[in-house]
Amino acid sequence: MREDTIPFMFFARANKYGGKCALKSKYGGRYRDISWSEFEGKVKDLAFGLIALGLKSGEKVSLLSENRPEWAYSDLAALSLGCVDVPLYPTDVPHQMEHILSDSDSVMVIVSTTEQLNKILSIRSRLPALRKIIVMDPPAQMIHADVITFGSVLKAGADRAAEVRMEFESRLDAVGKNDLASIIYTSGTTGPAKGVCLTHENFLSNCRSSLDLLPFGEEDVCLSFLPLSHVFERMASYYFTLFIGGAVAYAENNESVARNLKEVRPTYACAPPRFYEKMYANIMDSVSRSPERTKKVFEKSMAIAKRYAEAKLNKLDPGPVLWCKYKFVRAFVFSKIKAGVGGRIKFFISGGAPLSKELGEFFYSVGILIFEGYGLTETSPVVTVNTLKAFKFGSVGRPIRNTEVRIAPDGEILVSGPGVMKGYFRKEAATKEVFDGEGWFHTGDIGYLDEEGFLRITDRKKDIIITAGGKNIAPQNIESLIRADSYISEVVLHGDKRPYLTALMVPNFDALKGLALRQGIPYIKVEELVRHPRVQEFIANRMEDRQKDSPNYEKIKKFTLLESKLTIEGGEITPTLKVKRRVVAEKYKDIFDSMYQSQGGN
């Protein structure tokens, strides 16, 4: 049986695994298994129903939904018919959706809830190509002639299966590996989102190469909680899990991830560094609130774990005494940390932004391995990844099979391989800008390959800060160092053409409130807390300690604590939680300017 396209790969796995669990989703407060056979039936019924609605090969279908089984049904049904799907972020606002739906000429959009439906209806009159809106959760009343329910499309497909099956099989067979599978619009940190054109082979080449490097199999379970509209989650948690015959379990929402990890007990999961930073902050906050005796036990256990980890990372024999001590503290002290993520985790995979070396080493010490990788939407996404046989904290690993990495004279990372996109949708000039004459894709990231071939990222080319003194500074590494502090949630550096570095920082408000309670710092509102002199002094001391080994020109001289988080709704971060530096610089210009005056900042 063919496996050279995403739908053919899926049907081959469904044929092989039949009654085995493919998906897990929560219904009525409990996780329910969905077998491969049931999964296959839903995909085919939906495809039959879409044929009945007049969906033609090559047409675009947009998906606007949280992570749930219907997302996968919709994706695979559309791809089986030779269509192209266009994912939207559930957190997008209507004007962002309008740009994507209009630019892609989407003829159908499949939405999850009434909330998402209303977003589309608010811009419906400005989308002439859009013919149908399919809603997964039926609204109280059908308020538009173009709106139909997901259930009705499934039923129509089942009723007309005999009539349209031959067309389905013909269209499925006509799909080629180099055909366009998806247009994924980038987050747009510097302007309107561009549509990245990815083929079936782009995704599947990533799956094949990843399987060569990571020890996965059909017994594995992945908890899916990053948006499926993001290429990292789509490939690593969804397509790759199908590829290995494993099971995908859907988290209920972002707030329930901690609880769902314990319920599902996955063997792996994918997340950006913020997830691990928050885990670390929660662990350290819990320790700080513990009795003195517990704190001392944890500190001694960490000292043992760090010595053991250092020996292992340097390929040295830790010796029988240290080995026994480490096994003891891992079993009786750190086991609670692993139990907090379900107890079966083989490892986590980190991507989307740099993971601090300190954070990776901390989790390794307590028995949780995080493999950091590197990639972009334009590379489908994996370019490099750390593996069990070859990993270095602080690096993003070595290139995957059939993918080449080259460093340009100015330090920019160039990539060539089967995962690299066809180009940007309807943007020939933008496509030419990122491909050179030899066909190398220019990533816009700055980095280098070390003596063992591990790639190390220093920053985005466009984000490099050049101070008034002419020093080139990569902000991401400094920001990662500061974010590793349990009292800091986000930090944005500033200093281009300025005499020194300043920063906006979003504190970990829960940790800060705990500090105020323990130290008797009075406040009524959060604004009073972040401005309190004792809080300012406390954070300043922690910042100084974190930067003690940094060269003077890379130290943050002044900072301002914000009284609220950076938000998607405020336009300050993207749906993938990347800071929009230009927006932040403009929005907080007065605060940044004040920090270059004697009275400003800390």
pLDDT for 489-512, tens place per residue? 999 999 988 999 999 999 999 999
- Measured between alpha carbons, how far is 408 from 414 in angstroms, rounded to an integer? 7
**Model confidence at 379: pLDDT above 90:** yes
**Do you find a cis peptide bond into 381, omega within 30 degrees of 0?**
yes
Q: Please report where in the chains the tokens 């599947």 appear, as a residue.
A: 204
Mean pLDDT within 351-379:
93
Q: Which two tokens stand for residue 74?
A: 């919709």
Q: For residue range 17-41, what is the model confidence (pLDDT) as tens digits?
A: 999 999 999 999 999 999 999 999 9
3-class DSSP assignment, residue 442: strand
Size of the chain, expressed as the number of residues it contains: 602
Span of 83-87, 316-320, 446-450, 466-470 with lowest mean pLDDT: 466-470
Answer yes or no: same fold for 6-176+214-267 and 464-594: no
Q: 464-594 is classed in which CATH architecture?
A: 2-Layer Sandwich (3.30)
Q: How far is CA 359 from CA 219, 337, 363, 365, in A?
A: 29, 14, 6, 10
By C-alpha distance, which of 566, 602, 598, 562 is closest to 581?
566
Token pair of 428 as six digits:
């020939």
For residue 200, what are the contacts with CB-CB under 8 A and spacing of at least 6? Answer: 4, 5, 6, 79, 175, 176, 177, 178, 179, 181
Which of 390, 556, 357 lies closest to 465 in space, CA to CA?
A: 556
Q: How many Cα atoms sit within 13 Å of 16 on the Cβ side?
A: 15
Tokens at residue 421, please? 């996109």
Return the number of other C-beta atoms located less than 10 Å from residue 572's C-beta: 20
Cα separation, 376 vs 366, whole angstroms: 30
Q: Measured between alpha carbons, how far is 202 from 196 in angstroms, rounded to an integer?
A: 12
Q: What are phi and psi of 47, to 5 degrees?
A: -60, -45
Options 3.40.30.10, 3.40.50.12780, 1.10.3470.10, 3.20.20.70; CATH for 271-343+345-461 is: 3.40.50.12780
What is the residue type of 427?
A: K
The string of pLDDT tens digits covering residues 108-142 is 999 999 999 999 999 999 999 999 999 999 988 87
* Residue spans per domain, the chain: 6-176+214-267, 271-343+345-461, 464-594
Q: Which of 176, 3, 199 lies closest to 84 in space, CA to CA?
A: 199
Superfamily of domain 6-176+214-267: ANL, N-terminal domain (3.40.50.12780)
d(CA 246, CA 238): 10
Is the separation of the CB atoms in 74 and 46 below 8 Å?
yes
